[in-house]
Structure 1
Amino acid sequence: MGDLGGPYDAVVIGSGMSGLVAANLLAMHDRRVLVLEQHHHFGGYLQNFMLHRTPFDSGCHYVGGMGEGQVFDRYLRYLGVRDALSVERLDEDGFDVLDYPDWSFAIPMGYARLEARLVERFPHEAAGIRRFLAEVRQEVLQFPMYTLAAAEDPMGRSLDPDRTVADVLDACGLRDLRVREILSAYRALYFVPTHEASFAMHAFVFDSFVQGAYAFHGGGNAVMKALVARLRAQGGVARRRVRVTAVDVDDHRRVRGVHTADGAYVEAPLVIAAIDPKVAVSLLPDHAVRPAYRHRVERLRPGIGGLGAYLRVDADLSRLRGTNHFLQPSREGEDPLFSQAWLEAGTPPPVFVTATSTREPGWRGPHTVVVLSGMRADAFARWADTRTGARGADYEALKAELGARMLAPVRALIPELDTHLVTADFSTPLTHRDYTLNGGGAIYGIHHDMRQSAGRGVSWRTRVQGFLLSGHSVLYPGLIGAMISAFYSCGEVLGLRQLFEEVRAA
């Protein structure tokens, strides 16, 4: 492991988007920072992983708001990493395609283009469509840390969601199921049904992609490398394969440092835990927090876990370069993504399909295709106490059977799978749990319903002086949500107003 050094002004546990942004913010403001990552790669869901000597994206398949002057672009410029990143704009005329058995719809960039296409296709819902899009644009104005518009309170109403997505769809008088499906399609990017998801969360996810959808050349790995390099250039330290086992807290509930699995002790008066809140709170001694708080965090409902297929296809897939596809079974009754009825029925699940290698300049070899769906970890309960690579033949058989079901609808989109599929590997919620320590293998953290999202389930603040939480379970999911949560956490130390104005001025 080597000497971790110290003392530090702050220790950040976890090196996903939130952890790396938090560490950079502190380093930018002259704090000596140490990032500790338990995995052998930095990045969390930013990182790429290798299969058959081929890189695959783990979570950062595309992003919104990366056009010049848009929200993500502005934040990355402030952090000093934007110029180190190369991006590709996806197809303006249809970057996300929703494919149902008997209809499809390509989502274009820009509100004017989206409204025109929707109204032309569904003229009987024109008034409701216009109202819904206006509601989205109005809602994001309540979130100054997202819009970066001048505001007295940088938080605005981002922590006070009061409507679900279904509430707004109903209020707009939208009855055509196809229109409701299109306008709520991005529930698949946070895994919460419309009657539970806050409209505030949905609006900022929706808005960021309609502004402009992009892919990073090199995937999320490029973002991770840029943030780690920037941190080190500012004097910060980042170490892998170091698992924090306890946070040292004195009798006055003040942080003193952290203990690691290798027996090291690192002194620091500030610890930001950018990890699953349940894991974070488990690191605290009994006297540090009240039993009621510990119990509340332990009872947080985890989000839906990830089910993935990672394919290498030796064929020309350039037609998929600018688009992603959401392949949906027929919508009759409850949303299959959340009912999990497909498990019992033996049918394919809804899946997201992206061919990320088609966007990589100079790519050589078979193309990579990532297929993702959501699945609760309950189906794998019998293997809950096992680790990746040691779960036995029954687990591998179930994984292969689920993988085959995932690929069934993909074969219509990519018929080359029948003759040019080189390799196919699959992941389950347990895979995600082992690599990220997220409860239930949840790829978006806790279940972001109205009761738990936007800091309602767990705040970044705690009663322990010098112990803060961060990450996609604390505010909203996704790269932008995780990034802004780091600003909220660091704002407790550096002043959120100061950080807000610095980003706006950058």
Structure 2
Amino acid sequence: MNKKYDFIILGSGLGGLQSGYILSKHGFKILILEKNSKLGGTLQSFRRFGCNFSTGMHYLGSLEEGQMLNKIFRYYHLFDGIKYKRMDDNGFEIINIAGKNYKYPMGWERFKKQFLEYFPGNEDVFERYYYLINRAIDAQALYSLNHPEGNSDSELLMSGAYKVLKSLSPDIEIRNYLAALNFDYVGEKEKTPFYVHALVTSYFIKSSYRVVGESDQLARSLAGSIERMGGKIINKQKAVKFQYHDDKIAAVETHTGEVYHADNFISNIHPANTMDLIEEGKIKKLYRKRMKKMENTISSFTIHLRLKDCFLKYLNHNYQYFKQNDVWYPSYYDEKKWPEHFFFHTPPITENDDCSSCAQIMTAMKYEEVKKWEDSTKRTRDPEYHVWKEEKAHMLIDLVEDHFPGLKENIEDMNISTPLSFRDYIGNSDGSMYGRISDFNNVVSNYVSHKTKITNLFLTGQNLNLHGALGVSLSALITCGEFVGLKNLLEEINNA
């Protein structure tokens, strides 16, 4: 019989690695199984033509001393040997909306000053907005690394972001500016809760940083710590089904036929994919159906570029463009008009880059556009797919060229990722950027607990509450708090 573990964690995304770290630190025997050759989920980076590109972790918020992610990263020793570059205080994000540029400064005082320069005489609008942002954050104590006490502010949980912003001002320019970080949570007018907007926007405004070099340094650091504490990580082992003893899971079988035993199991993969591992009759049909039917956020189309030396100065900010006078792109996405938006990013190679020889262009794309090739793999895609992919890339580059003249003629090489690429590497069935959609219209049916209907199977990761380093880090605390005590865990982090 194989060695028995206290915990087996499926998936080595940030939530899985952080869970493995916490449990190993507290003396549990853990095993992490990863289907890919590389660890990290959206922390993964890859090297092409001399450039390191991140799969998903393009920048981080609230990393300044004393801020939430700083405390969390300090607990995991993610400042040891890893460098972070602070983005431009006066505009970590420049957003062009229908031809007009707007800066997003760092820090709420700077942000207020910039807002009032753009929109003089609207101090009351800003103050009301700032009040609601803080109310939404305070309603969820965990986002301030405090132990949750009592009920959350249900009114804000059930309020739509678009509706709340619309109530603040009749001026669409003001509303667009306040919602301009929409691509960081792919908000939809009809669904996205205000608390999602509040948490993500405040997270980046407080401070914004980029990882210098490869983003998978974070994954390698966590993995190294786990192994030093006695944990084990095995890659190229895709979980295919659970085995049972009575009503509990006893083991997990992988695609190679290996069987691994444990007392408890934590899934860092999408809840819908997790249901595929559970045989019929072992979990309630209604629960399975709800997990399988959850709607996911839109996917993306990304171009990774190698540029001629010093064509482009290093941009210490992100640049976004919305063709229409509307930043809620997923709400009016139209395949026939694609692309109407892009996110442009230059990953830092060193702390003191003068030039950018590497760049990434991202925009939204629906999975339906690649669905006819979904049964193929990276090695078996037909020629039609590659022609389509190149055509789409040139359409997107044409749009970016209008904002960065000379870009096309200064591209030395490029690599293209589609929703199929994200599906294959990240594991979501439709290549979703941020997992399930948060929908204020269906708070109860949309809710995903860290506990499942099987007593020793738990969930963690971006599908629990919120995506990104913020939401995923907190999901690991929630899940592991079940075993080591959430209050105790929060004290450890706040005192790290």
Which band: TM-score by shorter chain? over 0.9
**Alpha-carbon distance in 1 for matches of 2:111, 2:364:** 27
Amino acid at match of 1:167: K
Query: Which among 352, 366, 372 is matched to residue 343 of structure 2?
Result: 352
Over 3 Å counting, the alpha-carbon distance change for 1:154 and 1:237 in structure 2 is farther
Query: Which among 292, 308, 314 is matched to residue 302 of structure 2?
Result: 308
Query: Which among 37, 40, 50 is matched to residue 40 of structure 1?
Result: 37
2:64 matches 1:52: no
**Alpha-carbon distance in 2 for matches of 1:132, 1:8:** 49
Amino acid at match of 1:58: T
2:114 matches 1:117: yes
- Deviation string, structure 1 residues 119-153 (Cα, Å, up to 9, x no partner): 1211243321221122112221222222124x552
**Alpha-carbon distance in 2 for matches of 1:364, 1:113:** 26
Q: Normalising by the residue count of structure 1, what TM-score does the alignment of the two structures yield?
A: 0.93
**Alpha-carbon distance in 2 for matches of 1:313, 1:348:** 22
Q: Secondary structure at the match of 2:159?
A: coil
1:424 Cα deviation after fit: 1.8
User: What residue is the counterpart of 1:337 in the other structure?
Assistant: 330
Cα RMSD (Å): 2.3
2:480 matches 1:490: yes
1:378 Cα deviation after fit: 0.7
1:212 Cα deviation after fit: 0.3
Over 3 Å counting, the alpha-carbon distance change for 1:388 and 1:415 in structure 2 is same
Q: Normalising by the residue count of structure 2, what TM-score does the alignment of the two structures yield?
A: 0.94
Q: Share of identical aligned residues, percent?
A: 24
Which stretch shifts more, 441-450 or 85-94? 441-450
Which stretch shifts more, 52-61 or 440-449? 52-61
**Alpha-carbon distance in 1 for matches of 2:150, 2:226:** 25
Partners of 2:156 and 2:194 within 8 A in 1:
no
Partners of 1:303 and 1:440 within 8 A in 2:
no
1:417 Cα deviation after fit: 1.5
**Alpha-carbon distance in 1 for matches of 2:198, 2:356:** 37
Amino acid at match of 1:87: Y
**Alpha-carbon distance in 2 for matches of 1:45, 1:159:** 32
Q: Counterparts in 2 of 1:384-399, with a 5 A limit?
A: 384-399=374-389
Over 3 Å counting, the alpha-carbon distance change for 1:119 and 1:363 in structure 2 is closer
User: What residue is the counterpart of 2:164 in the other structure?
Assistant: 168
Over 3 Å counting, the alpha-carbon distance change for 1:197 and 1:30 in structure 2 is same
- Deviation string, structure 1 residues 295-337 (Cα, Å, up to 9, x no partner): 11111112101111111101326644311011110226x9443
**Alpha-carbon distance in 1 for matches of 2:419, 2:444:** 24
Over 3 Å counting, the alpha-carbon distance change for 1:256 and 1:364 in structure 2 is farther
**Alpha-carbon distance in 2 for matches of 1:273, 1:249:** 16
Amino acid at match of 1:325: Y
Amino acid at match of 2:342: V
Is there any run of 5+ residues in structure 1 with no aligned partner, and where?
none
User: What residue is the counterpart of 2:134 in the other structure?
Assistant: 137
Amino acid at match of 2:332: S
User: What residue is the counterpart of 1:328 in the other structure?
Assistant: 322
Partners of 1:453 and 1:473 within 8 A in 2:
no
**Alpha-carbon distance in 2 for matches of 1:111, 1:62:** 19
2:242 matches 1:242: no
**Alpha-carbon distance in 2 for matches of 1:93, 1:260:** 50
Partners of 1:377 and 1:440 within 8 A in 2:
yes
Which stretch shifts more, 155-164 or 195-204? 155-164
**Alpha-carbon distance in 1 for matches of 2:63, 2:204:** 9
**Alpha-carbon distance in 1 for matches of 2:145, 2:411:** 45
**Alpha-carbon distance in 2 for matches of 1:257, 1:271:** 9
Q: Secondary structure at the match of 1:406?
A: helix
Q: Secondary structure at the match of 1:84?
A: coil
Q: Counterparts in 2 of 1:102-113, with a 5 A limit?
A: 102-113=99-110
Q: How many residues align?
A: 496
**Alpha-carbon distance in 2 for matches of 1:160, 1:400:** 43
**Alpha-carbon distance in 1 for matches of 2:314, 2:261:** 50
Which stretch shifts more, 388-397 or 302-311? 388-397
Over 3 Å counting, the alpha-carbon distance change for 1:84 and 1:265 in structure 2 is same
Amino acid at match of 1:398: W
User: What residue is the counterpart of 2:273 in the other structure?
Assistant: 279
Q: Secondary structure at the match of 2:464?
A: coil
1:431 Cα deviation after fit: 0.9
1:160 Cα deviation after fit: 7.6
Q: Counterparts in 2 of 1:82-101, with a 5 A limit?
A: 82-101=79-98
Over 3 Å counting, the alpha-carbon distance change for 1:277 and 1:159 in structure 2 is farther
**Alpha-carbon distance in 2 for matches of 1:156, 1:71:** 19
Which stretch shifts more, 364-373 or 40-49? 364-373
User: What residue is the counterpart of 1:227 in the other structure?
Assistant: 222
Partners of 1:453 and 1:475 within 8 A in 2:
no
2:393 matches 1:403: yes
- Deviation string, structure 1 residues 84-126 (Cα, Å, up to 9, x no partner): 3211100000000001343110100111111111112112433
Query: Which among 281, 290, 293 is matched to residue 296 of structure 1?
Result: 290
Q: Counterparts in 2 of 1:9-48, with a 5 A limit?
A: 9-48=6-45
Amino acid at match of 1:225: R
Which stretch shifts more, 370-379 or 136-145? 136-145
User: What residue is the counterpart of 2:422 in the other structure?
Assistant: 432
Query: Which among 200, 204, 212 is matched to residue 209 of structure 1?
Result: 204
1:54 Cα deviation after fit: 2.9
- Deviation string, structure 1 residues 364-415 (Cα, Å, up to 9, x no partner): 9971111111111111121121112322121112111211121122213332
User: What residue is the counterpart of 1:181 in the other structure?
Assistant: 176
Q: Secondary structure at the match of 2:281?
A: helix
1:338 Cα deviation after fit: 3.2
**Alpha-carbon distance in 1 for matches of 2:120, 2:423:** 45
**Alpha-carbon distance in 2 for matches of 1:58, 1:158:** 35
TM superposition outliers: structure 1 runs of 4+ over 3 Å: 154-160, 317-320, 334-338, 361-366, 451-457
1:363 Cα deviation after fit: 7.0
User: What residue is the counterpart of 1:422 in the other structure?
Assistant: 412
Q: Secondary structure at the match of 1:123?
A: coil
**Alpha-carbon distance in 1 for matches of 2:28, 2:112:** 47
Over 3 Å counting, the alpha-carbon distance change for 1:495 and 1:287 in structure 2 is farther
Partners of 1:490 and 1:496 within 8 A in 2:
yes
User: What residue is the counterpart of 1:255 in the other structure?
Assistant: 249
User: What residue is the counterpart of 1:153 in the other structure?
Assistant: 149
User: What residue is the counterpart of 2:438 in the other structure?
Assistant: 448
Q: Secondary structure at the match of 2:216?
A: helix
Q: Secondary structure at the match of 2:360?
A: strand
Over 3 Å counting, the alpha-carbon distance change for 1:159 and 1:28 in structure 2 is farther
Amino acid at match of 1:134: Y
